[in-house]
Structure 1
Amino acid sequence: MNHVATPLVVSVFVDRPILAVIYLITIAVSLWLFRDALRRGKSVIVAAGWALGGIVLPAIVHFAYLYLRLKTEGSMTEPPLDDSD
C-alpha cells in the first residue's frame, strides 16, 4: 500500500467531497448571519459571535438565530424597522 502523507483535513475532503460542500454551505450561512445581524443593528461583536457560533454549532445556532429574529422582528422577509421616524 502506498500512502501519501497529507494533512487530515485535506485527506477527509479528498476522500469525501460532500463534507467540503457541507462545510462551505455552513460557512456561507454563517456569513449571511453575520451580515444580517449587522444590518439589523447588532454590534460587530454580537454579529461575530453569532457567525462563529454558526460555524462551531451550525444546527443549533442557525435555527436559534432565525427563531429569535422571527420572534423579535415579526417577519422574515421585510427589512428591519427604522426607529428614526
Structure 2
Amino acid sequence: MSPLTTTAPLVVSVFLDQPILAVIYLVTIAVAVWLFRDALRRGKSIIVAAIWAVGVLILPPIVFFAYLYLRLKTEGSMTEPPISDSE
C-alpha cells in the first residue's frame, strides 16, 4: 500500500472533524496568492515573489506582516498603486 492511500483518509477525517483547519489553510493559500501577485505588480522578480509566497505558507503571520512592513517602508502607502516610471 502506498503512503498516499493510507494517509488520505486521515487527512480527510481531520478536515471533517475540524473544518476550521480547512478554512485556515484556504485563507493561508489565498494570502500567498495575493502576496505573489502584489509583489509581481510592484515590480519584483518572479523568484522574489515566489519566495515571499512560499514564506507565507511556512510562517504565515511573520512573513505576511514583514512583507506589509517592507512594502510600506519602501513605497510609503498601502492603498496607492505603485508609481510607474512612464508617467
Question: Which interval holds the TM-score relative to the shorter structure?
Answer: 0.7 to 0.9
1:69, distance to aligned residue in structure 2 (A): 0.3
**Greater per-residue helix proportion:** 2
Question: SS at the partner of 1:41?
Answer: coil
Question: SS at the partner of 1:81?
Answer: coil
State, as a whole percentage, how many aligned pairs show the same letter. Answer: 78
Aligned to 2:86: 84
Q: Detail structure 1 runs of 4+ shifted over 2 Å in the superposition.
A: 5-9
Question: SS at the partner of 1:79?
Answer: coil
1:6, distance to aligned residue in structure 2 (A): 5.7
1:10, distance to aligned residue in structure 2 (A): 1.8
Aligned to 1:27: 29
Unaligned stretches of 5+ in structure 1? none
Are residues 1:36 and 2:38 paired? yes
Unaligned stretches of 5+ in structure 2? 1-5
Provide TM-score, normalisation by structure 1.
0.88
Aligned to 2:51: 49
1:84, distance to aligned residue in structure 2 (A): 3.4
Q: Which AA in structure 2 matches 1:36? A: D
Q: Which of 13, 16, 19 is equivalent to 2:15? A: 13
